[in-house]
A and B are shown apart, each in its own frame.
Chain A
Amino acid sequence: MISSHLPILQVVVPLIAAPLMVLLRHGALAWLLAVGISWTALAIALALLAEVAGGGLISYALGNWPPPWGIEYRVDSVNAYLAVIVSMVAAVVVVYMRRSVEAEVPRERHYLFYTMYALCLAGLLGISMTGDAFNLFVFLEISSLSTYVLIALGRDRRALMAGYQYLIMGTIGATFFVIGVGLLYLETGTLNLADMAARLPRVTDVRPVLAALAFITVGISLKLALFPLHLWLPNAYAYAPSAVTAFIAATATKVMVYVLLRFYYSVFGESAVFSALPMGGILLALSLAAIFIASVVAIFQDNVKRMFAYSSVAQIGYITLGVSFDSATGLTAGIVHLFNHALTKGGLFLLLGGIALRLGAVRFDAIGGIGRAMPLTSFGIVLGGLSLIGVPATVGFVSKWYLVLAALERGEGWIAFAVVASSLLAVAYVWRFVEVAYFREPAGKIAELKEAPASMLVPAWLMIAGCVYFGLDTALTLGGAGDAAKVLLRGTW
């Protein structure tokens, strides 16, 4: 039965597509293949989510080698939810890619671009499926290496530098992670995460375990751009090709948050991380710093793409803030924001790509009056911005509601106020766009601009419409996040 092989198909389909694309050496065919694998991935992810709904667990032994000797793929509500986010974003962005990549990447490299995209997708989905620490590291490297290439393919020459910067930081992060995994292997003698979790409590030599926790935390934090380890992110997002920015902004950091959650709750255990160690306090402080500092920096950017990149650093802060509460409500807030922010920021970067296509740049001083020239694109950006602010009837509101509730549940009103006050900073940077887009007279080139092509506008608006739809119907998103939080807090995997 093919349905019993879904966990591995989720990863293998895009992984096999990559070499096929190289063999094809044809941009359009590679794109078609990319669409096929992305939509297949979404279908598989949804099927997996349905299968594990309500606390189920799928254990898949790779090559029939029984775990913990062979590699195990282990799917529950948490990873299935994550795979849905990744593949959903992929399924939408891949449609958009054709026009955008045509304009931004040299023709002879198109098939390579899609190859890298397929590898990146395989890596991200692999991370979310696997139950093996070293396998996770391999997929982490696959997704990272392909991301470096994708970023460096940006039209701007600074994209090379940005890709390089990310390469250095990402490699350090991955190295830290693998050192941590190595220490755990030394102490437990296993690489299977569930097995590792079962053996850890019996380990008497605590210091290497603590070191492993530290290495893994820092390594993953680098990759998920937790303040102050976020320095690679703004340049990478700003100079990567538009479609790449949208794809990685909506998926890569989210997957790394998942890895952190998995290690904290399913490997080390909640009590070890949050009770015996002050991780909650550290995460709380860093998250608040991320939210406030990155938001303020965002206000002063002169490039719209960079502004939203800094906004991403702040939004990651909201996610880790939810995690830092270490409560059902807090985790739900953090996990639902993975989805909500993916949708919002994905949509925003896709819309910006439309402006980049028509205008070549998305600097504030170049887009005055864009509201009249590209009304659908501009209005979409405003709606996405409202979701960043957290206006009701958008997904941002749902996240904010749960974050504030989690803070109030802990009796810490000041955090609740910090969360809502930080929304005002989002008002400030979103309104900067509103004023530039609608209050300036369209001058020169702007006045003659056409709206973005439908093949880009439709996917972008699909995400923006999703921001509103999932702001009013949260059964799937909030329900899934709630399930995931419950599974994580249960501890055993």
Chain B
Amino acid sequence: MVTSETVIVLALIVPAAGAVLIAAAHRAPNLREAVTLATAAMLFALVGSLTPELLAGARPQARLAEVMPGIELAFEVEPLGMLFALVASGLWIVTSLYSIGYMRGNEEAHQTRYYVCFALALASTIGIAFAANLFTLFLFYEALTLITYPLVTHHGTEEARRAGRLYIGMLIGTSIVFLLVAIIWTWAIAGTIEFELGGILRANASNATIGVLLALYVFGIGKAAVMPVHRWLPAAMVAPVPVSALLHAVAVVKAGVFAVLKVVVYVFGVETIAGMTSVEWLPFVAGFTIIAASIVALRSDNLKRRLAYSTVSQLSYVVLAAALLTPLSIIGAALHIVTHALGKITLFFAAGAIYTASHKTEVSQLNGIGRRMPWTMGAFAVGSLSMIGLPPAAGFVSKWYILSGAMATGQWGAVAVLVAGTLLSAGYLLPIVYRAFFLSPAPADGHHQAHGEAPLTMVIAVSASAFGTVALFFYPEALLALSRQLAGPG
């Protein structure tokens, strides 16, 4: 009988060991990619095998070492981390499939390095998801930043170098200057940094301290891309498309909003800070990010840039939902991490498929492309619906919970932001679908050679993620069961 502690440790070791094997197989690309897929599948199975236990109310732990007195390298699986780990490991399978088509189709260099870093990024992500305390979370948070740096700068061009600087500068910078201080401060106040449902700062901190600490956490977790700490994300679009999928859907930004949500629920405690005046600024910042990023997306002609700002906006839905501090919205926040991941990965896969098949990057070039790439653009349409929050796509479910939370507690400002955000996202996504299917292509001008669908593995990946988006709308029970446990007892 394998204990759950072993499973947790294995979930960390498997992707790391996979990375070693991938590096060893660098001369045989087919074997190398097979290792990636097998590792991804194994990781998903490992993470999934913990789910029944979790639903039964258990909280499996693995405590590895005491790093400093009272500060452990330790893991504890709870519902939110489970959701995140499931999403990340599940989408890794799809992304790997997609990567094979993309990296080969575009004849990218340094493919072994790419797959190695990808696998290590997943190991770090699992570390973040299962972290039992702020130290472990911080450790893997930084590791994820560092290990994704070679991915972001994959092309090694001047532009990639500059994007990499911004990436490292903003993410490492905010995490060291704000997040680390917040963590040490929490330690100084509470005497512990272990995550605990209901929070660890109950009676030990004043109203003002809580407000400052919350700001340090929210802006220190740069991966959540709350304005003005969002600039690294659009810049990182210089990376290959599957890397964007990793950043936007699988791991990086999700690690950010996951950490924010985790800190609100497990460090501050929803009930502890619900009535405090010093935390009232957070909905405004999140709301501003939602609206402002949507407007930038609306004005971007470059497809990837539009999607990047859409991510900035959608991430703040999670932050806003957390900031509403009601059980319903917390459930919505957890769900939105999952549904946005599925929707956004579909959109990025589609963008990459378009690029691989036709080398088009601008929205204005996409007239009529739906006729040539029906699968890809069909999936894009599904992803768009999910982003906007319309049925029959999963985005509807999470937005429903967030909106219900806002209405139930009469936070009408938030309701207004949610409605406006929905309209804006329809405004920047639907025209793309419309162009693709209902406008006729521009007359041939040399750029537009004939092309069909993207390579098969890419089409499979994009269809699979679109299918998942729809499936989650019809069968959200497992997700809901997990996220309801977050809302606390009763």
Q: Does chain A have a CB within 8 A of B401?
A: no
In the complex where A392-B142, A409-B188 touch, is A472 in contact with B172 (Cβ < 8 A)?
Answer: no
List the A side residues contacting B69 at CB < 8 Å: 478
Are A474 and B176 touching (Cβ within 8 A)?
Answer: no
Across the interface, do B177 and A417 meet the contact criterion of CB distance under 8 Å? yes
Please give the distance in Å from A385's CB to the nearest CB on chain B.
11
Q: Are A392 and B135 in contact (CB under 8 A)?
A: yes
Selected from B143, B161, B188, the residue in CB contact (under 8 A) with A439 is B161
In the complex, how many angstroms separate the beta carbon of A423 from the nearest chain B beta carbon? Answer: 5
When A389-B172, A391-B142, A405-B188 are in contact, do A398 and B180 touch as well, CB less than 8 Å? no
- Nearest-neighbour CB distance to chain B for A8, whole angstroms, equals 35
Contact B181 A472 (CB under 8 A): no
Across the interface, which residues of B come within 8 angstroms of A393, CB to CB?
139, 143
Is B73 close to A, CB under 8 A?
Answer: yes
Q: Could you say which residues of chain A place their CB within 8 Å of the CB of B187?
A: 405
Give the residue of A392, A420, A471, A478 whose beta carbon is less than 8 angstroms from that of B181.
A420
Contact B180 A472 (CB under 8 A): no
Whether A427 and B161, one on each chain, are in contact in the complex, defined by CB atoms closer than 8 angstroms, is no
Q: Answer yes or no: A493 CB below 8 A from chain B CBs.
A: no
Binary interface encoding of chain A residues 408-450 relative to chain B, with 1 for a CB under 8 A from any of its CBs, else 0: 1100010011001101100100010001001100000000000
A185 contacts the other chain (Cβ, under 8 Å)? no
Docked Cα-Cα span, A261 to B135, in Å, equals 31
Instruction: Give chain A nearest CB distance to B52 CB in angstroms.
Output: 32
Contact B139 A392 (CB under 8 A): yes
Tell me if B2 is interfacial: C-beta within 8 Å of chain A: no
A389, A398, A424: the one contacting B68 at CB < 8 Å is: A398
* Main DSSP-derived SS at the A contact region: helix
Question: Would you call B185 an interface residue if the criterion is a C-beta within 8 Å of the partner chain's C-beta atoms?
Answer: yes
- Using C-beta atoms within 8 Å of the partner chain, give the interface range for chain B: 20 to 34
Alpha-carbon distance between A8 and B180 when the two chains are bound, in angstroms: 44
Closest CB in chain B relative to A295 CB, distance in Å: 14
Cβ-based interface call for B168 (8 A): yes
Cα(A405)–Cα(B184), bound, Å: 6
Q: How far is the CA of A424 from the CA of B73 in the complex (A)?
A: 25
Q: Mark B164-196, 1 if CB is under 8 A from A, else 0.
A: 010011001100110011001101100000000
Interface residue total, chain A, C-beta cutoff 8 A: 31
Contacts of B105 in A (CB 8 A): none
Q: Flag if A472 contacts B67 (CB, 8 Å).
A: yes
Cβ–Cβ < 8 Å partners of B135 in chain A: 392
Q: Contact between A473 and B65 (Cβ–Cβ < 8 Å)?
A: yes
| Residue B268 is within 8 A (CB to CB) of chain A in the complex | no
Residues of chain B within 8 A of A405, CB atoms compared: 184, 187-188
Any B CB within 8 A of the CB of A223:
no
A417 to B66, CA, bound (A): 26
Tell me which residues across on chain B come within 8 A of A416, comparing CB atoms. Answer: 181, 184-185
Are the CB atoms of A408 and B188 closer together than 8 Å? Answer: yes
Give Cα distance in the complex from A419 to B73, angstroms. 24
Contacts of B153 in A (CB 8 A): 439
Q: Which residue of B lies closest to A336 (CB)?
A: B68
Q: Is A400 an interface residue (CB 8 A)?
A: yes
Q: How far is the CA of A474 from the CA of B73 in the complex (A)?
A: 12
Q: Mark A387-401, 1 if CB is under 8 A from B, else 0.
A: 001111100001011
> Which chain B residue lies CB-closest to A405?
B184
Tell me, rounded to whole Å, the shortest Cβ–Cβ distance linking B78 to chain A: 21
Tell me if B176 and A423 are in contact (CB < 8 A).
yes
* Residue B138 interfacial (CB < 8 Å): yes
Q: Does A386 contact B (CB under 8 A)?
A: yes
A238 within 8 A of B: no
Partner pick for B180 among A409, A420, A427, A435, CB 8 A cutoff:
A420
- CB-CB under 8 A from A404, the residues of chain B are 180-181, 184
The answer to whether B146 and A431 touch across the interface, beta carbons within 8 angstroms, is: no
* A392, B124: Cα distance in complex, Å: 13
Asked, given contacts A392-B142, A439-B161, whether A474 binds B67 with beta carbons under 8 Å apart, the answer is: yes
* The one of A408, A424, A431, A475 that contacts B184, using a Cβ cutoff of 8 Å: A408
| Minimum distance in angstroms from A396 CB to a CB of chain B | 11
Residues 362-392 of A, flagged 1 when their CB comes within 8 A of B and 0 if not, give 0000000000000000000000001001111
Within the assembled complex, what's the spacing in Å between the Cα atoms of A37 and B356? 64
Measured in the bound complex, the distance between the Cα atoms of B457 and A157 in whole Å is 62
Which residues does chain B contribute within 8 Å of A421, judged by CB atoms? Answer: 177
**B157 closest partner in A (C-beta):** A439
Tell me if B156 is interfacial: C-beta within 8 Å of chain A. yes
CB distance from B443 to the nearest CB of A (A): 41
Query: What's the nearest-Cβ distance from chain B to residue A409, in Å?
Result: 7
In the complex, chain A residues whose CB is within 8 Å of the CB of B143: 393
Cα distance A421–B177 when bound, in Å?
A: 6
Cα A337 to Cα B184 with chains together (Å): 18
Please, what's the 1-or-0 string for A323-341, where 1 marks a CB less than 8 Å from any CB in chain B? 0000000000000000000
Neighbouring A residues of B73 by C-beta, 8 Å: 472
Measured CA separation A393–B135 after assembly (Å): 10
B55-89 CB contact bits vs A (8 Å, 1 = yes)?
A: 00000000001111100010000000000000000
- Chain B neighbourhood of A409, CB < 8 A: 188
Min CB distance, A448 to chain B, in Å? 21
Give chain B interface residues in 185-222, CB to chain A under 8 Å. Answer: 185, 187-188
Q: Closest approach, in angstroms, between the C-beta of A57 and any C-beta of chain B?
A: 24
Would you give the shortest CB distance from A380 to chain B, in whole angstroms? Answer: 15
Mark A469-493 against chain B: 1 for CB-CB distance below 8 A, else 0: 0011111001000000000000000
Q: Are B173 and A424 in contact (CB under 8 A)?
A: yes
Specify which of B135, B138, B187, B188 lies most central, judged by the most chain A CB atoms within 10 Å of its CB: B188
Q: Once the chains bind, are B67 and A473 in contact (CB under 8 Å)?
A: yes
A364 to chain B, nearest CB (A): 15
Cβ-defined contact, B68 with A427, below 8 A: no
Kindly list chain A residues whose C-beta atoms are within 8 Å of the C-beta of B172: 389, 391, 424, 427
A392: which B residues are within 8 A, CB to CB?
135, 138-139, 142
Q: Are A386 and B68 in contact (CB under 8 A)?
A: no
0/1 interface trace, chain B 85-116, chain A, CB 8 Å (1 if under): 00000000000000000000000000000000
Most-contacted residue by chain B among A392, A408, A413, A472 (CB, 10 A): A392
Question: Nearest 8 pairs between A and B by C-beta?
Answer: A392-B139, A404-B184, A408-B188, A420-B177, A423-B176, A420-B176, A439-B161, A391-B142
21 A/B residue pairs, CB under 8 Å, sorted by A? A389-B172, A391-B142, A392-B135, A398-B68, A401-B68, A408-B188, A409-B188, A416-B181, A420-B181, A424-B169, A424-B173, A424-B176, A424-B177, A427-B169, A435-B165, A472-B65, A472-B73, A473-B65, A474-B68, A475-B66, A478-B68
Residues of chain B having any CB pair with chain A under 8 Å: 65-69, 73, 135, 138-139, 142-143, 146, 153, 156, 161, 165, 168-169, 172-173, 176-177, 180-181, 184-185, 187-188
Contacts A424-B172, A472-B67, A478-B69 supplied; 18 other A-B pairs, CB < 8 Å:
A389-B176, A390-B176, A391-B146, A392-B139, A401-B184, A404-B184, A405-B187, A405-B188, A408-B185, A416-B181, A416-B185, A421-B177, A424-B176, A424-B177, A427-B173, A439-B153, A439-B161, A478-B68
